[in-house]
Structure 1
């Protein structure tokens, strides 16, 4: 049912919401010799990356896709730099740290930000977006999977509101693209980005983006050039489409990313979604008797790739995580208001497999004096071979 070639278990087990363990095919690609960024072989590779990104994102056939030479935060910033001008009304949905980061970036580029918020652990309400959306709004921006709280926001429903409003629709797909359904063309998304080190298990350092024709038209109509030269869409298109020099791209990261993305597409996005769901549910069921409970109350609002679990009463969060780290197991706690309240367990790419979580359960058995955690986890995983 699943790809039967799990990543080898290295000395350190990463169960964080990013980065994720590097896929073996990406690791192998990293070892190849250096080529110049203007080499014909690199341009051919880039063309394959662009085609594969269109498949991953579910874009129109000729949609512009590319890799930015930076992490997902550069993908976020590039969208506002290129598509927002001073004085533009931008509606930002913020129900966690990364939605708030969107709002801050938009303001730095001169936008007049309208915030739509939701309490931590809750999804953005579509009716709240509808109440703030009017013909003056130039862009609506939302985080699909809010990494800081493990919430999945209703992007398809928000997209339906935005269609026909004249506003561009920007979606942060950092913890969803490549693991959860993402349908850029069908939903009407104009700009999206992720990070290579998230669902695709490639090394950090490149941010895959996709830009609609509508967004390029908005870019072309700018009154002034984008303030961020490095990620100027025109310069990027010159390099990726016209094969002319813009800046030196990290060639070896391109080869590694290409290998990781191909591995994901070879496995099948549906198969990846299924193993995330099954491994995540097994973790929840195994830890429930200890008092761990889902932080996000409504099941439909839970982000499968970042499992947010409320800690049991009296649980020594910092102490247990430090003890796990001494055993070469990394688990991430909460951010800001949720520090000491939740764990955020990554289920992206190569971390969404039984082997690393089996190692976690064995360690927790010893640290917490709880018997049979590993055996219980294996029982819940019956039939999963990944």
Structure 2
């Protein structure tokens, strides 16, 4: 049997709590995917996505009917042909996933790595660019809490003539993103991350350069479902391609509009303010930032090294029994770090007050919630 409904505090790196406007949008009656009202909605979504991504007014944007991983795969499926050289920046689990996908589509992958908890070095990227057709990088590596230097990598890619693919899953929608200024050719995210919409659609941005590369393919992409021309047929020519998840479009539209109404700079500042307060609160207990360089810390996923002796699995299990979800490390960082989500509706003081109250009891740390409120007041807004 399913458990009874209860209020849950979701502080993971995704999914995030639903924005109230998105939750309300899910209750609307169903419309057909070819309904004129849905096409009107889609045009508004496309315009808002251009704003979110910092793209030009004529840049193609759309929603893929799948999660962020489909956004990742669609880029390689449409823009990579067997034998192409692709430089993949892999300093965590999702960079490694990029490399695997590129290989599955026949690319010769040159991997640029960095130690866990450290950003990619642009000079290492420059050393691998000869003959590369694409550079792929995760902007915010969710598995380690690292922010990679996309502007510097983008400049190198553009100078070399390579396309640039950016995983913006934990950045776009929570801070300004500058696709046009940086020279990003393909970017994607997931609805359930920074936007606090339900999982199931992946917002993408495709540059004219990327479409030129796509149309120069020797053979059609093997992935019919997300063929770029098929997407454009539906989103711009309003012709049938496949059935889109209409209610998820309405929910994404509501959450995206709420994010833009708040302002991407305001959202970035909200995250940094809250992150600073959490770190100040937990530091006396021995929690320290996993990423040493403050400039390389991903604002939306706070990776904290655990104090010696803390029972990672036991504490997280006890939190789950209190209907509080936080996430530990992946792979080599399992048992070493916690990854606290600071995206969308999770990046609010109230759910973290709930966490601090629970940790007071579980860690024997009275006054933790009061220290958190003091830290919120002390950290510059």
TM-score bracket relative to the smaller structure: over 0.9
For 1:325, which of 320, 324, 341 is the aligned residue? 320
176-185 or 331-340, larger mean C-alpha shift? 176-185
Task: Confirm or deny that 1:50 pairs with 2:46.
Answer: yes
Q: Does residue 300 of structure 1 match 2:289?
A: no
| Aligned position for 1:173 | 168
Which sections of structure 1, spanning at least 5 residues, go unmatched? 1-9
Change (3 A) 1:84 1:367: same
Gaps spanning 5+ residues in structure 2: where? 1-5
CA–CA separation in structure 1 for the residues paired with 2:181 and 2:322: 45
Where do 1:227-376 residues align within 5 Å? 227-376=222-371
User: Is the Cα contact below 8 Å between 1:275 and 1:384 reproduced in 2?
Assistant: no
Q: Which residue of 2 aligns with 1:81?
A: 77
Verify: 1:30 aligned to 2:20, yes or no: no
Match of 1:124 in 2: 120
Corresponding residue of 1:190: 185
Match of 2:55 among 27, 52, 59: 59
Tell me the TM-score normalized by structure 1.
Answer: 0.96
Deviation at 1:165, TM superposition (A): 1.1
Q: For residue 384 of structure 1, report the CA deviation from its aligned partner.
A: 8.5
Is contact 1:196-1:208 (8 Å) kept?
A: yes
Deviation at 1:76, TM superposition (A): 0.1
SS at match of 1:141: strand
Residue 385 and residue 302 in structure 1: after superposition, are their counterparts in 2 closer, same or farther (change >3 A)? closer
CA shift for structure 1 position 385: 12
| Counterpart Cα distance in 2 of 1:48 and 1:308 | 35
What SS does the aligned partner of 2:195 have?
A: coil
**1:125 and 1:267 mapped to 2: Cα distance?**
33
Paired positions, count:
376
- Which deviations, in whole Å up to 9, do the C-alpha atoms of 1:352-379 show, x marking residues without a partner? 0000000000000011111100000001
Note if 1:214 corresponds to 2:227.
no
Paired position in structure 1 for 2:3: none
Give the CA deviation at 1:133.
Answer: 1.0
Partner of 1:72: 68
How far apart, in 1, do the equivalents of 2:156 and 2:135 lie?
10
Q: 1:382 aligned to 2:377?
A: yes
Listed one character per residue, the Cα deviations across residues 273-301 of structure 1 (whole Å, up to 9, x for unaligned) are 00100001100000000000000000000
Comparing 10-19 and 91-100, the one that deviates more: 10-19
Contact 2:273 2:380 in 1 (8 A): no
Aligned partners of 2:91 and 2:113 also within 8 Å? yes
What is the TM-score normalised by the length of structure 2? 0.98
Alpha-carbon distance between aligned partners in 1 of 2:279 and 2:380, rounded to the nearest angstrom: 19
Q: Give the CA deviation at 1:383.
A: 7.5
Call closer, same or farther: CA 1:114–1:324 in 2, change over 3 Å. same
After TM superposition, the runs of 4+ consecutive aligned structure 1 residues lying more than 6 A away are 383-386
Does the CA-based 8 Å contact 2:135-2:164 persist in structure 1?
Answer: yes
- After TM superposition, give the deviation of residue 164 of structure 1 in Å: 2.4
Partner of 1:3: none
Equivalents in 1 of 2:342, 2:42: separation in Å? 28
Task: For 2:361 and 2:252, locate their aligned partners in 1 and report how far apart those are by CA, in whole Å.
Answer: 37
The question of whether the paired residues in 1 share the 8 Å contact of 2:33 and 2:243 is answered with: yes
User: In the alignment, does 2:35 pair up with 1:39?
Assistant: yes
Matches within 5 A, 1:100-119: 100-119=96-115
Q: Distance in 1 between matches of 2:24 and 2:43?
A: 20
